[in-house]
Structure 1
């Protein structure tokens, strides 16, 4: 945990943005996968972590906006707990670690909320993606879990997003820590990109890298030779010489801050000339974005500028033609990159996504587009110092999408469908780094991963055909 004063100040900053009522911060509960005592690895709710720092199941906090009173709710340890789990710190000791003066039994929570509702006081709570927590909220408020999301507080969401979007120095230290271990994650995957390996072997080793460091992955990793499938979690393919291996993976810091990197590597150690051509276009697109990211720029404008660079690169290869600016305005580039340039990063890999992407990535000035491809841009708003975000351009050759657009004659003024026939089995290339917006630009988080073609190939070729690592 950070110092108690950090959490106390965060909660104070939160309630100052609210007009009145009480705030319910609900932590996660243990989730069994085949028996009550046999649970998945626990992961605390990220907003609860941000405001309270307590990383144990079955906790809740009430903040009284009007009186300033704070209370931690939980279950006190009994003899059975002591026998099976050993001595634990007391509930009051947990409260004090978070800078909360008072603690009491979880059983009192329902009565307090009922009293507040009966007194017509506003009860603020956040959206929750966990089914168990929806049931708990439903029980607390006497409503069906199916409709409990209708009572969430937009006021609390906006206040939470405003605070969590700006990362403090302590948070940046955690994010650098996560990115440093991300370096080990991805260089391990690169060195395993050898013919005969299976995708699941590499994915398993990524889990092991995190586990050996006492950490957990920040999301289920994408490890695939079918990079044209954007979120491909099938890991049954055996790597062949000449394949491209796309690995999109991240790991958490000790306090659960996330990394999120992507690298695409040539199986066997060398890119083909055609693979190099596409890789260089993706790299140039990333470099364009990095040059533009600074306070005051909107990420929408950065995305569009990066897409123009992507189009110009594809034009140089004969895959697109016409006016690059008009092609981007029309959305023709989305055939090759049907997703956004990046998203915020923090305690969640898609930071605060459960609170609602439009609350996090957009505002009254920048609205989400409905255009194919651009509608998938998770972050469009104006950037501020302290924002942490990903930069992740890609080029994908998706046969079904190409066939549909070609049949419809879509964007034929900009796309060379005849030449695309030779790329239908290419796959996809994505590159992704994590950065923080600084006062005058941006900086990379953590140790830089191999990115240039020569650096990637050199990393892969530290391993011989027998798997011996010469690093």
Structure 2
């Protein structure tokens, strides 16, 4: 089911920063009796090494979550847990800086734009902290919660009896898992822009000379629609390059022919990410082998999506993807033997080495998934989410089947796995490279809503590419 929402209407309001602050404060109260203030710093401005050019600005996620301030550096937040009052501190006017960069955000503009109670110049930060600390002296409200390593040297907490630099970061990470309507609208907006860019590439793929030409088209369409930043470096992988999971060279010549193109690309909208992958034939026509693999991966994705709902164990969804992959590869003859024995041996990890997906939000690989990269089971080692999915979380579903020589050859040399792989049949599929299909799903009480509305039906893809 595709998400239907009035994105423009929702985003016309304010980012719900105070609701997020209250949620974080409530999480902290479940861990400790102490209360006080939450203190956060935004990203600092700076210059590139050996250069007078500014470092590309990237707001700290925790600060954004409690302020909505995505594009202003050198700012600070104080949230009073007792009064539920938030105070934003922004840089004062610097006449010399105005000459070069124009007037900065004013306190009046900040109050109108962001969900905060008070806006002060950052020159008043330490005085405000001292006042708050002194007013709550000798009470259980005299704790400052901050994130370790993210407190500037000039900031003083002298009036606070207790300083907790551990719990706030955890609280923000856990609270970010469940999105509110505004956050979902931001992700949906990022998806809408990325969907248009994906289709732009599909229409141009037959005549492109190199992969980076298509990357440029994708970026240009995102810029055209107002999305200046990408959620991650684009993967534009043709032919066998698609077997490299995070291929980012994007410089291979594209002679067309029988190659597939795997396009894994997504912009962000006000720091919220999209993450979409489509795989399609450069020529506009799948080969017999590439279509067979594509159909298996599409079946994997559709069945996994059908399984989604509040409380489902992500391990179980991932396991289903492997079972369908095994069935499909058995039907083609790439695998042989008993499907249960193949699963038990974990031989399918040679063809699907990564996890089924990950949380999505302000980061492409968003927080709160509790992965276990030391898991001895190769089927689950790279899963980025190891928990039951709560309603309101957004997760990617991105199954794939890959023919990566570097990964598969060791399996062929291992008797434990070699007995289940027919190398003669396998040799027909190396040129497929890899197929991955990825959508962004909002988990609901009874199912899920697909935030990605980008073509993936194989016949429809062929029609788009050929202009039929």
Name the TM tier (shorter chain): 0.7 to 0.9
Deviation, 1:372, is 2.4
Among 94, 98, 105, the residue aligned to 2:122: 105
Further displaced range: 409-418 or 301-310: 409-418
Q: Does the Cα contact within 8 Å between 1:193 and 1:265 map onto a contact in 2?
A: no
Distance 1:228-1:107 versus aligned 2 partners, 3 A rule: farther
Distance 1:177-1:371 versus aligned 2 partners, 3 A rule: same
Task: Tell me the TM-score normalised to structure 1 length.
Answer: 0.83
Give the SS at the match of 1:422: coil
Deviation, 1:36, is 6.0
Deviation, 1:88, is 3.1
Deviation, 1:107, is 7.6
Per the alignment, residue 369 of structure 2 pairs with 361
Further displaced range: 173-182 or 31-40: 31-40
Give the SS at the match of 2:420: coil
Q: Find the aligned partners of 1:324 and 1:109 in 2 and give their Cα distance.
A: 65
Partner deviation per Cα, 1:132-185 (whole Å, 9 max, x = no partner)? xx5x6473689xxxxxxxx852x3244223422122222222222211111111
Among 1, 11, 21, the residue aligned to 1:11: 21
Q: Does the Cα contact within 8 Å between 2:16 and 2:68 map onto a contact in 1?
A: no
Among 136, 139, 143, the residue aligned to 2:153: 139
Further displaced range: 325-334 or 53-62: 325-334
Q: Does the Cα contact within 8 Å between 1:74 and 1:104 map onto a contact in 2?
A: yes
Give the SS at the match of 1:17: helix
Per the alignment, residue 246 of structure 1 pairs with 262
Q: Does the Cα contact within 8 Å between 1:166 and 1:386 map onto a contact in 2?
A: yes
Among 267, 270, 274, the residue aligned to 2:289: 274
Give the alignment of 1:290-439 within 5 angstroms.
Answer: 290-352=305-367, 360-362=368-370, 369-439=375-445
Give the SS at the match of 1:71: strand
Partner deviation per Cα, 1:389-433 (whole Å, 9 max, x = no partner)? 111001111112222222233423433234323333431111101
Q: Does the Cα contact within 8 Å between 1:436 and 1:445 map onto a contact in 2?
A: yes
Distance 1:10-1:111 versus aligned 2 partners, 3 A rule: closer
Q: Find the aligned partners of 1:31 and 1:223 in 2 and give their Cα distance.
A: 32
Q: Find the aligned partners of 1:206 and 1:33 in 2 and give their Cα distance.
A: 27
Deviation, 1:111, is 9.8
Partner deviation per Cα, 1:312-342 (whole Å, 9 max, x = no partner)? 0011011112332443343211100100010
Q: Find the aligned partners of 1:5 and 1:205 in 2 and give their Cα distance.
A: 31
Deviation, 1:451, is 0.8
Per the alignment, residue 355 of structure 1 pairs with none
Q: Does the Cα contact within 8 Å between 1:198 and 1:237 map onto a contact in 2?
A: yes
Per the alignment, residue 216 of structure 2 pairs with 204
Deviation, 1:68, is 4.7
Deviation, 1:452, is 1.4
Deviation, 1:200, is 0.8
Q: Find the aligned partners of 2:144 and 2:51 in 1 and give their Cα distance.
A: 31
Give the SS at the match of 2:153: helix
Partner deviation per Cα, 1:434-465 (whole Å, 9 max, x = no partner)? 1111221112114x211111011111101xxx
Give the alignment of 1:186-205 within 5 angstroms.
Answer: 186-194=198-206, 197-205=209-217
Partner deviation per Cα, 1:219-276 (whole Å, 9 max, x = no partner)? 11001111100001112111122111111000122x3321110011111111100111
Give the SS at the match of 2:88: strand
Give the SS at the match of 2:230: coil
Among 59, 69, 75, the residue aligned to 1:54: 69
Further displaced range: 193-202 or 51-60: 193-202
Distance 1:75-1:10 versus aligned 2 partners, 3 A rule: same
Give the SS at the match of 1:415: coil
Among 130, 146, 150, the residue aligned to 1:125: 146
Distance 1:71-1:329 versus aligned 2 partners, 3 A rule: farther
Give the SS at the match of 1:265: strand
Q: Find the aligned partners of 2:259 and 2:188 in 1 and give their Cα distance.
A: 31
Distance 1:59-1:370 versus aligned 2 partners, 3 A rule: farther
Deviation, 1:91, is 3.9
How many equivalent residue pairs? 436
Structure 2 unaligned residues grouped into runs of 5+: 1-10, 157-163
Partner deviation per Cα, 1:327-372 (whole Å, 9 max, x = no partner)? 33432111001000101111222123xxxxxxx1139xx9973322
Q: Does the Cα contact within 8 Å between 2:345 and 2:416 map onto a contact in 1?
A: no
Per the alignment, residue 63 of structure 1 pairs with 79
Q: Does the Cα contact within 8 Å between 1:286 and 1:393 map onto a contact in 2?
A: yes
Q: Find the aligned partners of 2:91 and 2:104 in 1 and give their Cα distance.
A: 12
Is 1:161–2:173 an aligned residue pair? yes
Task: Tell me the TM-score normalised to structure 2 length.
Answer: 0.84
Give the SS at the match of 1:315: helix
Deviation, 1:66, is 5.2
Q: Does the Cα contact within 8 Å between 1:73 and 1:109 map onto a contact in 2?
A: no
Q: Does the Cα contact within 8 Å between 1:75 and 1:91 map onto a contact in 2?
A: no
Structure 1 unaligned residues grouped into runs of 5+: 128-133, 143-150, 353-359, 463-469
Give the SS at the match of 2:316: helix
Q: Cα RMSD between the aligned structures?
A: 3.1
Q: Find the aligned partners of 2:287 and 2:55 in 1 and give their Cα distance.
A: 43
Q: Find the aligned partners of 1:152 and 1:425 in 2 and give their Cα distance.
A: 52
Q: Find the aligned partners of 2:458 and 2:15 in 1 and give their Cα distance.
A: 46
Give the alignment of 1:26-41 within 5 angstroms.
Answer: 26-33=41-48, 37-41=52-56
Q: Find the aligned partners of 2:280 and 2:47 in 1 and give their Cα distance.
A: 37
